[in-house]
Amino acid sequence: MQRTILSMAIPTLDKWKIIPNGSVIGTVRNHASIADGDVITTSQIQNPELASRQSIVTTMTGSKYKLLEPRGEISAEQQRKEDVALAAILAKAEKDFAANNGQIASEKKQPPAPKKGFFGGWVGPFQKSAENDSGSGSMTSEARKKEMLSRGPEWQEAVRKYNLNGDTIGLEGEYLLAKKPTSSTSGKSSICEAYKTEGATGLPRENATPVCMKISDNFVAISREYENYRKLSFFGMAAGEFVKCYQFFPVAGYDLPYQNQCALVIEKGDQDLKTFLNSKGKLEGKLLRDACESATKCAQALHKAGMVWTDMKTENFVVMSNGDVKGIDLESSMPINDYPVDYSPEACPPEFAKALLEGDGLYFPLDGSYDVWSLGMLMLELSTGRGYFDNKTPAQITKLLRDMDDETMSNHLEGIECDERLKDLIGRCLQKNPKKRPNTAQMLMHPYFLAGNPFGFLAFN
């Protein structure tokens, strides 16, 4: 079931000004993935001459910002932040210029050079305009490169071996796409298999292993997901619990349709947990305990990093070739006490459903109990082979959640066949009162998990 997007307020820029390349620099607030008070530089905006106080501007990448007070006299600290932001842009531009031997591409725009904010967040690409240059030193277009490659036997062999479809991702064709893309669970992105290329040849590296390429025109959501992976890594919480995040391309490539899309490169699993579950009917024994424990550790990692997942469900886990279960899809994860940007009806708790039906879903403050409810529903699905709300519409699910009481869930749990300790753990997670639900540390100390790992307390104290 797809997520439902919650409309959010447009981020604002205060103490702003237009800089020579047509971008806006200013202090941002209410941004989905950037901290309030950060000085950012947007990508180039449409119609810079129309920018004025209280106007809404749209960047070339489609992002919108409301302009507050234009820059007048600013504090020394504000000036310092602005100088740092501009210095990062200029340094990147000089580096790109030097890398191209002082020449500007004739057949394509220069790649955006995003300035990195806290945790490396992408807060506004800098773009050089293309210039006409018919000299022999001009860069070869990706289309021309592919045309040349397609004539060679090495390329034809690679196409057969890796099932390549001919498309590339990255401004220098760093990845080759394979097979037919599929849609993400949110429906907002395309998911493709891809292979890293080997420098000069443009072919997959020898004995290359595939990665997962997530491609979308929703720059805000995918950059937020990249930021969330980086936060986990920064806090040292991601090891083994989530797939590895390798790279983020603010612009997926020069070739259409990738010019207006971004791409995220992550570790590839064998299949998603939902598909794996369907093939098994339901999980049992060690297989079930390991999957439940992995999901709980994912939630624990996010909570320790100050985030709430808000979208914990079987589709957002993958089973690796060695049988490990890892979390994916963090585009809707938000900081604790922040508000949700979207939701999956079958994964949200009763208190959110109630707020949503009362018109307050947009300003529902998030905390870890949201994910604990989702964990309970996930463990219930894994142990029975079916979702509690299967065959229900989003509207039906939301109303059922709002009206649910503890007795309803207790009666349901009595009727299923699974480990009694797991039943008890699920029941604790699915209490209607969020304050009564355990946190993830308490969950991992539950007898159900300790039965499979009697020394588990050593890892979580």
Average pLDDT of the chain is 81
Buried b (16+ CB within 10 A) or exposed e, 151-164: eeeebeebbeebeb
pLDDT of residue 1: 65
pLDDT of residue 46: 85
Do 258 and 276 belong to one domain?
no
Higher pLDDT among residues 184 and 431, named by residue: 431
Do 37 and 81 belong to one domain?
yes
Domain termination site, one of 239, 266, 293: 266
In the beta sheet, which residues pair with residue 342?
5
Task: Provide the 10 A C-beta neighbour count for residue 35.
Answer: 15
Tokens of 278: 């369907």
197-201, 312-316, 416-420, 438-442: range with lowest mean pLDDT: 197-201
Tokens of 153: 């036997």
What CATH code is carried by the domain that includes residue 195? 3.30.200.20
Does residue 126 form part of some domain? no
Angle at 64 between CA 181 and CA 14, to 5 degrees: 140
Which of 113-122, 255-264, 404-413, 422-431 reaches the highest mean pLDDT? 422-431
Hey, is 188 helix, strand or coil?
coil
pLDDT of residue 316: 95
pLDDT of residue 132: 32
Complete DSSP assignment for 96-126: HHHHTTT---SSSPPPP-PPB-GGG-B----
* pLDDT tens readout for residues 330-364: 999 999 999 998 889 999 999 999 999 998 988 99
pLDDT of residue 371: 98
Tokens of 75: 């504090």
pLDDT of residue 120: 37
Instruction: Tell me what percent of the residues of the chain surpass a pLDDT of 90.
Output: 49
Does residue 142 form part of some domain? no
- The structure tokens 């200013």 sit at 26
Contact status, residue 297 vs residue 359, Cβ threshold 8 Å: no
pLDDT of residue 299: 95
Buried b (16+ CB within 10 A) or exposed e, 373-404: bbbbbbbbbbbbeebbbeebebeebbebbbeb
pLDDT of residue 233: 83
Instruction: Tell me what percent of the residues of the chain surpass a pLDDT of 70.
Output: 76
Number of domains the chain is built from: 3
Does residue 140 form part of some domain? no
In what helix (H) or strand (E) does residue 338 lie, and over which residues does it extend? none
* pLDDT tens readout for residues 306-326: 999 999 999 999 999 999 999
Question: What is the spatial distance between Cα 16 and Cα 18, in angstroms, rounded to a whole number?
Answer: 7
* pLDDT tens readout for residues 66-112: 899 887 655 656 665 655 665 565 555 555 545 554 443 333 333 34
Average confidence (pLDDT) over 229-239 = 75
Question: What is the spatial distance between Cα 373 and Cα 367, in angstroms, rounded to a whole number?
Answer: 11
Question: What is the spatial distance between Cα 166 and Cα 390, in angstroms, rounded to a whole number?
Answer: 39
Task: Provide the 10 A C-beta neighbour count for residue 414.
Answer: 9
Do 278 and 262 belong to one domain?
no
Do 259 and 322 belong to one domain?
no
pLDDT of residue 73: 54
Do 217 and 351 belong to one domain?
no
Question: What is the spatial distance between Cα 340 and Cα 362, in angstroms, rounded to a whole number?
Answer: 7
Q: How far is CA 160 from CA 156, 179, 180, 204, 330, in A?
A: 6, 11, 14, 12, 33
Is the previous residue joined to 210 through a cis bond, with omega within 30 degrees of 0?
no
* pLDDT tens readout for residues 287-301: 999 999 999 999 999
Question: What is the spatial distance between Cα 175 and Cα 211, in angstroms, rounded to a whole number?
Answer: 9
pLDDT of residue 449: 95
Does residue 244 form part of some domain? yes
pLDDT of residue 20: 66
Domain termination site, one of 71, 104, 120: 120
Complete DSSP assignment for 386-433: S-TTTT--HHHHHHHHHH--HHHHHHHHHTS-S-HHHHHHHHHHT-SS
HSE of 106, CA atoms in CB hemisphere, 13 A? 10
pLDDT of residue 111: 39
Contact status, residue 185 vs residue 214, Cβ threshold 8 Å: no
Do 254 and 290 belong to one domain?
no
Do 211 and 257 belong to one domain?
yes
Does residue 329 form part of some domain? yes
Do 275 and 256 belong to one domain?
no
* pLDDT tens readout for residues 251-272: 998 777 788 899 999 999 999 9
Domain that holds residue 359: 271-460
Average confidence (pLDDT) over 10-20 = 84
* pLDDT tens readout for residues 362-405: 899 999 999 999 999 999 999 999 999 999 999 999 999 999 99
Q: Give the closest residue to 53 by CA, choosing from 71, 70, 73.
A: 70
For residue 126, what pLDDT band results from cuts at 50, 70 and 90?
A: very low
Task: Provide the 10 A C-beta neighbour count for residue 407.
Answer: 9
Q: Give the closest residue to 440 by CA, choosing from 449, 383, 290, 452.
A: 449
What CATH code is carried by the domain that includes residue 402? 1.10.510.10
- For the sheet with 271-272, list strands across it: 271-272, 317-319, 325-327
Does residue 12 form part of some domain? yes
Do 408 and 298 belong to one domain?
yes
Does 133 have pLDDT greater than 70? Answer: no
Does 116 have pLDDT greater than 60? Answer: no
Percentages helix, strand, coil for the chain (3-state, rounded to 5) are: 40, 20, 45
Does 196 have pLDDT greater than 50? Answer: yes
pLDDT of residue 237: 59
* pLDDT tens readout for residues 35-55: 778 778 887 888 887 888 888
In the beta sheet, which residues pair with residue 40?
26
Amino acid at 5: I
Do 325 and 254 belong to one domain?
no
Does residue 127 form part of some domain? no
Domain termination site, one of 85, 120, 155: 120
- The structure tokens 């297989």 sit at 287
* pLDDT tens readout for residues 211-221: 999 999 988 89
Does residue 125 form part of some domain? no
Do 166 and 106 belong to one domain?
no
43-47, 180-184, 199-203: range with lowest mean pLDDT: 199-203
Does 236 have pLDDT greater than 90? Answer: no
Q: Give the closest residue to 210 by CA, choosing from 169, 241, 152, 250.
A: 169
Do 310 and 251 belong to one domain?
no
